[in-house]
Chains A and B, each alone.
Chain A
Amino acid sequence: MKRTALTQKLLVLGVDGMDPRITRKFLAEGKMPNLQKFIERGSAREDLRLLGAIPTITPPCWTTLATGAYPGTHGITCYWRQSPESLDAVVYNMDSRNCTAEQIWNITAEAGLKTLVWHWPGSSWPPTSHSENLSVVDGTQPGSVNMGVAQLDWEKVIVASPEIKEVRYAPRVDKPAGVGCIITDLEDSLDADVDDEMMELWWGDTAREGGEIRTFVMDDEDTEVVIGSKVAYDIVNSPLKDATGWANAPEGAKEFTILTSGGVMRRPALILKNEAGEYDRVAIYKNKKAEAPIVTLERDKMVSGIIDDVTKKEVTKPACRSMKILELDPVGNKVRLWISNALDIANDQLWHPKSLFGEIVENVGVVPPVSLIGGEDAELVREIFEPSWVQYNQWQADCMNYCINEKGYEAVFSHLHNIDCAGHQLWHLGKTLSPWDHTDEKTYQGFIEKFYIQTDDYLGEFMHLLDEGWTVLVLSDHGLIVGENVPPIIGEYGGLNTKVMEDLGYTVMKKDENGNSIREVDWEKTRAVQIRSNYIYLNIKGRDKYGIVDPKDKYDLEEQIISDLYNYRDDRTGKRVIGICLRNKDAVLIGANGPECGDIFFSVEEGYNRLHGDSISTSEGYFETSVSPIFVAAGNGIKPGFTTERTIRQVDVAPSVSVLLGLRYPAQCEGAPIYQIFSEDV
């Protein structure tokens, strides 16, 4: 098949979690001028919406965008994959080898276009084409490049004052909002084991190795919005005193101590006076004998690219950190300092070809760490979390522009995670509900705005491409809502959701001596379980390890469960919480059928859904939010200033890329080109 290309160069600017509904609010307020220009110079629907694939979960949706196939077809149906061994366990799923549909970037590379896949969290790693035109960077987790494999040390807040008498270190402290960072009871603050790599932190080494993970979501405390908004970081307390024993300490400097690397690495630091006699800088040294500091920090300025040795598991490596002064008393009686997680500056494990890593480091810079602390602590969100993403966004934009301008890439498929990362920590605080009524929704709505503004700045970094013959697609996998209610315990993607299914009598948990449920399923009494975002599995004899349901009763039991789920009412409001509920064979209507989709697919009803993932993509939330993804196209081959009424589905993106570049469609593609927006009839 031959077709004339409408463009020779195409960039997909993916922004995880970008929601067209709230985007339109910020556009109307004039806060997203760069996106406004893309819209004016290109095509989109009036509402900017893309109809999202189901489930509205990151890896399935990015895989749909890459393949043009529905999740039931490409087989990536949640963040997790169901364990083939156990109904109550999941295994990791961000592995391209699990994908049963062809990715568009293999087609562009094999057709001779130099292709870059940049941190695409859906079936991109490991590379699935041998074409030497294909480069792939990470894609094994959605956070930021290298986050999953290069992390050597965790984030820390250091507090030093004259009242503190000795250096103390407390790893990974869950800090309730508003409580100062002074270690008062070390025994209570210590975890048994503390890991630093994100994969270890989240799920343990077993996850990376493909082992089973069992997570039980039994009450509000187990839900992501509660867990995600807790702020956990290492705390170091140090005396602050006159500098003694230094090779080169300026007049009037006071010293304190920073501990890193699980407490084994120590860096002496000084607070320094300015000409007016006020303390306004912090200098950090390798040791007291060092002539020059590793870095000197000024007030209100985050510094990244700080290279220092970090020890992890008895191995010492140079790592990149960011740092910022949180508070510095001008008369020198207190200093508070944040230091970021540390990223190994030499880890090229997830770069293909590996030479690209070296070129990026040399020409753009080392990968800057992003902060993952903030949550209910508004100061940390304002001072650390949001600005760390601004720095990362700039680095990523610089990397992609370097690859485009200097390396001659012609097709670029990219993903940025800033909005989704913030969404999972903060968005639920955009409405003040009772469990988090110690926070202020206006403050958090302001943070939502800041993340959209920084996204607009990122998009602006690529505006020049429209004048250089490129086609640019701005799109997302899903949006995130600010919840109207505290979500019910069903549909949480992280594991086995027990409460609703226990209430309905289908899942039975083992009990302790007081009759309370423990975190173990009683398989002899369990007829069905709800696991991952939207799936219910019956416990069938002969099929499942501990099956008790006769296969001939399966159809009737499915009907009973569907009926009970529709009748289930939220115990706080008395309203229905289940949206749609379909047998596997019927879920083909929404592309959520087949062997990876359980026996029953269900969604959580609008108003009761969590950030994203459990509802259908048309759900809307508080503060003009929605679960819908966004789509805007501009540049060569796209009608300028055009508004279409066409419903644009996520499966339509990959075949549209095919048409724009004059290439064949992906093998399992189920979508259709968005021909209405093309500049020529095809």
Chain B
Amino acid sequence: MQFVKASLLFLLFTIIPAALTAQEEHGSHAGRAEEEFDASTFIMDHIADSHEWHILTRKNGESVAIYLPVILYSAEKGWDVFSSRQLAHGHEYKGYRLEEEGDNKGRIVSLNEDGTINEEAFLLDLSITKTVVGLLFSVIIGLWLFLSLSRSYKKTGISHPRGIQSFLEPIILFVRDDIAIPNLGEDKYEKYMSYLLTVFFFILLNNLMGLVPFPPPFGANVTGNIAVTMVLALFTFFITQINGSKSHWRHVFATPGVPVWLLPVMIPVEIIGLFSKPFALMVRLFANITAGHIIVLSLVCLIFIFKSLFVAPVSIAFVIFMDCLELLVAFLQTYVFTLLSALFISLAVKGEEEHH
């Protein structure tokens, strides 16, 4: 507990000064403000992952941002760790450059001596990006919530829930009674409860934190990032396959009731089916959250597209409406992801007699 509080304070006191000092150095891009407002770039910049946490751009073009650590591994140069401030605004640093335009926009590329991009070089970018920071914070909040919840159970024992328990316990019981037990059955659900609860609260926390626009670490588009949803879907996929029963595999490689001559067609179809389920999980969460962010940002952009303050009230009204809708979507998509995970696991886990 003390550790969590201390680390939160630490981050607060290290990030804010970093952000404030950041503005002093980069004033070179003056005049950007006069450029034509490009809504799609603006929106995509907000949704995509980035190596810095951009807070605002001043009228003179200075940007205020939190510069996050860049961690690179290249086959030739080995490990490199430095602040993304070194790469801001297209600066080269140690033979790397953060592309601002073109195919690799937002990615760090390895450069040759003459400044051209070295396409062959193996470059692994393990930077702590905006999404990673968002993730870390949501996980810290989650850990704080649930570890203190767990502690409060030790205190209250089996008496009625109180304090934080009365808020979180219904959600936990919802996951247990409405997601896990109906799909996995009374006898098998306990094994998967930890995973389902973790996934549920991981997605929920990230969805909700993504909806809060400001300040960092809120507002990162974590569950609207395909890498994050892919990892979550892969977890479900591996749990499903590892716990798959005999009949699950028989279903894939020798579907009962299918004539042998059809098997060469059926087996690929079934194998595609194995992967299409997590794929659907990945895309559904990613698309729903990203779409919500895009709509909200588009509505905000209307003000700048029309360059009129009179659009603002309309815009704001719509944004508030969309935010309410997104709040619903945040819960709904969390529920759907967890429910489908439980369903996919149950389909693979259940034995012959329950399969039909």
- Tell me whether A and B are bound partners: no
